[in-house]
A = this chain, B = another copy of it.
Amino acid sequence: MKFEAVTIKDIAKALGLSTSTVSRALRDSYEISPETKKLVLEYAEKNNYHPNPIALSLKERRSRSIGVIVCEIANSFFSQTINGIESIAYNSGYNVIISQSRESADREMLNLQYLTSRSVDGLIVSVSAETKDFAYFKELNQRGMPIVFFDRIVDDIQTHKVIVDNYKGAYEATTHLINSGYKRIANLSNASVLSIAKERLAGYKAALSDNGLPVDEGMIRYCLHGGMIVEEVEEAIRGLFEQAPAPDAILTSADKLTTNCFRILRAKGLKVPDDIGLIGFSNSDMTELLDPPLSVIRQPAFEMGEVATSMLLQLIESKRPVTDFETRILQTELIIRGSSRQAGRRKKEMV
């Protein structure tokens, strides 16, 4: 016994009409008599008929659904973005198909092929850290598949993009650490190929230079999995502390990097911010409850999802090819928590 839905054909047979008449009646076509319409509509209602979207997709070559590819949904930033995406899509009658790459290029490709062949009308993508070959994205884009990149964008693909001002976010956070009296600030960075990692790193370096502090490559560590694997963060931090002199503060450039770095510092018995400074990118709603409360750089994730979706729908629904692509840059928010007093004290101690 397999699930069978009622089709137009069923209605037609039951009512002694042709499928086209039924089809038109259901679409409330002007060329159908009121009586027939009523008959069909009532029967359809009673047997709760729903048009088969698969058949519709096959016919219309569109599915009113959009595909989303992120590396990991169990990540505050991405799940908040997805909420933003869904809120817009839902209101526009689009369905959202979510898939995770888990930072694997293979898996990303598989999801990509699934989604495209599945006739999604467009894609919203934050690329995986492992992806080196963007040829398939490019081809897709050139062949007319609407794509919007967000967060981790691909520079040389011409399409709409949504990012935050990563440079500024990292710059401000680093500056705050410097103003709090820290002199040797390390950077835990994401995979160096990622656009966001580059931008954040640049902001970090600029802040050091602008404040007369040296940029020491030994103070910079890259975590290929963005901190998702605790061991890689441990390894990076160990490397940092093997340097002489050791860092007195750390800027973490990814969500999981921030929380896992915090976890490890705490396990080492280091108190933030008295023993060591720490600020990182994080969208977790629990950083304020940590022991001690953590200062973070927060991204407007929900809004990014909304903006990306609006852009995508615009691409999907525009008749003529779009040529003037836009990169929307939103602002991060630097949230300082409970560390100013201690940082002040620290500053005095150091004088």
Contacts and interface: CB of A to CB of B under 8 A. Distances in A.
A50 B117 CA distance: 7
Interface residues of A, number: 55
Interface stretch (A2-10, A38-46, A233-241): A2-10
A192 interface: no
Main secondary structure on chain A at its contact with chain B? mixed
Contacts of A79: 73-74, 79
B74 A80 contact: yes
Interface in A92-144: 95-100, 107, 113-114, 116-119, 140, 143-144
Contacts of A99: 95-96
B291 A263 contact: no
A51 interface: yes
A183 interface: no
A286 B291 contact: no
B80 A144 contact: no
Nearest to A140: B3
Interface of A: 1-5, 50-55, 57-58, 61, 63, 73-74, 76, 79-80, 82-83, 86, 90, 95-100, 107, 113-114, 116-119, 140, 143-145, 259, 262-263, 266, 284-286, 288-293, 321
16 contacts: A1-B144, A1-B321, A2-B61, A2-B144, A3-B140, A50-B113, A52-B119, A54-B54, A73-B79, A73-B82, A73-B98, A74-B76, A74-B83, A86-B100, A286-B286, A286-B290
